[in-house]
């Protein structure tokens, strides 16, 4: 009797776990619109430091302080784009200047 | 669409893509472990689903500025 019910119970447990995971994802707005997603991300970011503190207290050891990285990928990218486009825009005049200088140098050599 | 609005839309797109990728990956792992004997394809499928949802959301968000939106007036 138990041997017959066991597969059913196993299947029911698996379906409950999978269904529960899907429901949690749906309920916390992870599967919704872009706006809901960014709201959830904000909430998660705000919830991480208190959670980390609680874990640290529970385990009783101090995590090393995270070093403050002053690097902003956005600023680095933007400045890279601006510098590249600026270089491209002054490239023709720079090349012509260097060519003139080179020709002048060669003329001076032949004088 | 102003540049500021466009930038905000792209920010939302990226955040949403990250969330949907993670959610799809997580649900794929759950399904793979629970139902499919730890095979790889449910994980890949879930991740793909997540990225597809993110793409669709992004597309609708970026289009919404140019699409006519209507409201049905309530009868008084």
- pLDDT tens by residue, A59-100: 766 666 667 777 788 888 999 999 999 999 999 999 999 999
Nearest CA to B59 out of B18, B17, B2, B4 is that of B17
Give chain A's mean pLDDT. 85
Looking at residue A61, its pLDDT comes to 66
Q: Nearest-5° angle of CA B20, CA A47, CA A68?
A: 95
Buried b (16+ CB within 10 A) or exposed e, B55-70: eebbeebbeeeeeeee
Q: Count CB neighbours of B74 within 10 A.
A: 5
Q: Judge: A31–B23 Cβ closer than 8 Å, yes or no.
A: yes
- H-type alpha helices, B1-76: 3-34, 41-63
**Subunit contact B19:A41, Cβ cutoff 8 A:** yes
pTM over 0.95: no
Rg (CA), chain A: 32
Taking the CA of residue A13 and the nearest CA in chain B, the distance in Å comes to 9
Does the distance separating the beta carbons of B11 and A37 come in below 8 Å?
no
State whether residue A31 sits within 8 Å of chain B by CB.
Answer: yes
pLDDT in tens, A11-62: 999 999 999 999 988 888 888 887 877 777 778 788 887 777 787 777 766 6
Mutate to test the interface with B, among A23, A27, A29, A34 (most CBs of B within 10 A): A34
pLDDT of residue B44: 96
- As a whole number of angstroms, the distance between CA B10 and CA A105 comes to 52
């Amino acid at each position: 009797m138990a041997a017959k019910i066991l597969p059913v119970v196993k299947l029911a447990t698996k379906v409950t776990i999978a269904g529960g995971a899907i429901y949690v994802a749906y309920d916390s707005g992870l599967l919704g619109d872009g706006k809901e997603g960014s709201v959830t991300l904000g909430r998660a970011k705000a919830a991480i430091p208190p959670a980390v503190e609680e874990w640290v207290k529970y385990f009783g050891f101090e995590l090393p302080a995270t070093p403050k990285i002053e690097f902003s990928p956005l600023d680095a990218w933007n400045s890279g784009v601006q510098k590249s486009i600026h270089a491209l825009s002054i490239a023709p005049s720079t090349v012509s200047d260097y060519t003139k200088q080179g020709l002048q140098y060669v003329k001076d050599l032949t004088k | 669409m102003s540049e500021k609005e466009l930038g905000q839309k792209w920010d939302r797109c990226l955040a949403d893509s990250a969330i949907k990728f993670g959610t799809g990956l997580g649900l794929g792992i759950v399904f793979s472990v629970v139902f499919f004997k730890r095979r790889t394809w449910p994980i890949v499928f879930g991740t793909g689903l997540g990225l597809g949802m993110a793409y669709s959301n992004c597309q609708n968000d970026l289009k919404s500025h140019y699409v006519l939106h209507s409201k049905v007036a309530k009868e008084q």
